[in-house]
Amino acid sequence: MLDFFTIFSKGGLVLWCFQGVSDSCTGPVNALIRSVLLQERGGNNSFTHEALTLKYKLDNQFELVFVVGFQKILTLTYVDKLIDDVHRLFRDKYRTEIQQQSALSLLNGTFDFQNDFLRLLREAEESSKIRAPTTMKKFEDSEKAKKPVRSMIETRGEKPKEKAKNNKKKGAKKEGSDGPLATSKAVPAEKSGLPVGPENGVELSKEELIRRKREEFIQKHGRGMEKSNKSTKSDAPKEKGKKAPRVWELGGCANKEVLDYSTPTTNGSPEAALSEDINLIRGTGPGGQLQDLDCSSSDDEGAAQNSTKPSATKGTLGGMFGMLKGLVGSKSLSREDMESVLDKMRDHLIAKNVAADIAVQLCESVANKLEGKVMGTFSTVTSTVKQALQESLVQILQPQRRVDMLRDIMDAQRRQRPYVVTFCGVNGVGKSTNLAKISFWLLENGFSVLIAACDTFRAGAVEQLRTHTRRLSALHPPEKHGGRTMVQLFEKGYGKDAAGIAMEAIAFARNQGFDVVLVDTAGRMQDNAPLMTALAKLITVNTPDLVLFVGEALVGNEAVDQLVKFNRALADHSMAQTPRLIDGIVLTKFDTIDDKVGAAISMTYITSKPIVFVGTGQTYCDLRSLNAKAVVAALMKA
């Protein structure tokens, strides 16, 4: 039983609707439009919303969408056939009204399709009942049953021709002699030194055959190997006595005063002076304003200069034929027209580090978007598919919900509470380093930061954050801010409960008047259930305002696995009724991948969450905001 069936234009005008139940279809259809159609995720023709399964079909020629909804616990085998029949009949019946391509004509048009739809629905239901169940194929009907048993017996390691020859000689031997006489003659054949084998009427086992081949190989090649082994031996006599150790000019010494790297103290407190250069730590560029990500390189500029030079080898006639080659003309695109181009696009995306499953879904979405669409006279299939794919990629990278941390922090200040951000991710992706970069960005914008050291597992994690805090304090000393401490580290050592430390840090920030609390967590693999449970507990107990997943831009298929399992673990191990999942992504090590920027597409596609920050270097100023068009341009570059 169907809940609803609706037909509407891509402009949003509902042309006809069938209601099978009293519930409205507005909510599920709007969810389909927001999550699938507007986000260019049309690779699969089904969508699940709460208790409903929605199947849809796009008519790109007339800009129509056909949607059917039914309960997801039902298995309706006739739905696909029903959508195809309704699509064909509706388009043929109202072709004149639809081809006018104006909203006013669609509004004034009358689409009396109720009786036709009920007839098609009845026919589809009856055809599914009439269809006989498929019977399993019997063994007697198979080709294997017609073969004799002797032909199916194979000796391991024996070639088919040798097997046939052996069978023939076996038969000839049995006809010419008795069994006991043949066996008595077979024994002395090996002792007599005659060549033993099938040609002499003697059968060898597999082990004997291997042993015989090995002996023949050693006899042929053994002498040469012995000579080469003798020649490789060193003729130099061994030195007697122990060899003296070599002394290096820049070698270390065992003087403990030289090896003492501990911080000098004055009256029991460590000195706050920094030996590093402040400018090297800070980096260049405005720290308070995030710049857009630039994916261009020097290779692109050189290629652009070379492309501007005129080519003397190509003639005018060849250039004219090159322009006319591949033109589509005024025709509608089909799957066969786009198949070869989409295969090349899919391989190109995978080569650019896009996950394989995501690349397949993207190409399928583009195919559904372009199938049946009428092309212009001077348009090629390649240019059309490439343009559609670029538009889809830009739409994917533009988030459904934009994360504006500065605005949210100001809103939390008006409520007199700290703004809490939790960082999570796998091991070694740069959580602590990028936490320090974001701290510097917040300090440059005038917000005070409390760093909570909740990584109580990794050795040196607290010391790393302490070093970052000391450097950030040197860049923003209290003297520049009226005696106010702008950055401080809250730590309780190692081996403690991370959720408890985060709770104490938030309470301390509220009492001391800090604007932002940045919670650093331990790196964990997505398959580690105990650590994922601890992370879900930390997020559930402390309810942070923003949960950021830190991932590196070097990964390919692993990005999908990490994000899916992190979200699933947070949902499974959460004690809340509505579990808190990942809100945004921090993409690190972006300066190491050149134009292989596919991880950004994979992460955004699988979570529908925005990439809030992009790490591009080792200094505090190496933090960027994502530029969707620049990433797509680098992704589509050959």
Q: What is the pLDDT of residues 231-283, one digit of tens each?
A: 544 444 445 555 666 666 555 555 555 544 444 443 344 444 454 556 666 66
The class of domain 2-127 in CATH terms is: alpha beta
DSSP 312-381: SSS-HHHHHHHHHTTB--S-B--HHHHHHHHHHHHHHHHHTT--HHHHHHHHHHHHHHHTTPBPPTT-BH
What's residue 335's pLDDT? 84
Count of CA atoms in the C-beta half-sphere (13 A) of 16: 21
What's residue 607's pLDDT? 83
Q: 189-200 burial, b if ≥16 CB within 10 A, otherwise e?
A: eeeeeeebeeee
Name the CATH superfamily, with its identifier, for domain 405-628. Answer: P-loop containing nucleotide triphosphate hydrolases (3.40.50.300)
- Which pair of tokens denotes residue 588? 């690190």
Cα dihedral 589/593/594/600 (nearest 10) = -80
Q: Is the per-residue pLDDT at 209 higher than 70?
A: yes
Cα dihedral 174/178/184/189 (nearest 10) = -30
Average pLDDT, the chain: 77
Q: What is the pLDDT of residues 299-346, one digit of tens each?
A: 454 444 444 444 444 444 444 444 444 554 556 788 888 888 999 999
Higher-scoring residue by pLDDT: 292, 170: 292
Distance from C-alpha of 456 to C-alpha of 308, rounded to nearest angstrom: 57
Please name every residue paired with 49 in a beta bridge, in sequence order, or none if there are none.
52
Q: What is the pLDDT of residues 175-193, one digit of tens each?
A: 444 444 344 444 444 444 4
Q: Calculate the CA 616 to chain-centre distance.
A: 20
Q: What percentage of the chain's residues is helix, strand, coil (to nearest 5)?
A: 50, 15, 40
Higher-scoring residue by pLDDT: 171, 418: 418
What's residue 134's pLDDT? 64
Q: Which uninterrupted H or E stretch holds 164?
A: helix 160-176
CB atoms within 10 A of CB 166: 14
Query: 35-49, 331-345, 407-421 — which one is most confidently predicted on average?
Result: 407-421
Residue 267 falls in which region: left (phi positive, over 0), alpha (psi -120 to 50) or beta: left
Nearest-CA neighbor of 451 among 405, 520, 542, 499? 520
Length of the chain: 638
Cα dihedral 589/590/591/597 (nearest 10) = 140
Q: Where are the domains positioned within the chain?
A: 2-127, 332-397, 405-628
DSSP 16-44: EEEESSSS-SHHHHHHHIIIIITTT-TTS
Q: Is the per-residue pLDDT at 567 higher than 60?
A: yes
What's residue 243's pLDDT? 64
Higher-scoring residue by pLDDT: 466, 256: 466
What's residue 483's pLDDT? 87
Q: Is the per-residue pLDDT at 101 higher than 60?
A: no
pTM over 0.75: no
Percent of the chain with pLDDT over 90: 21
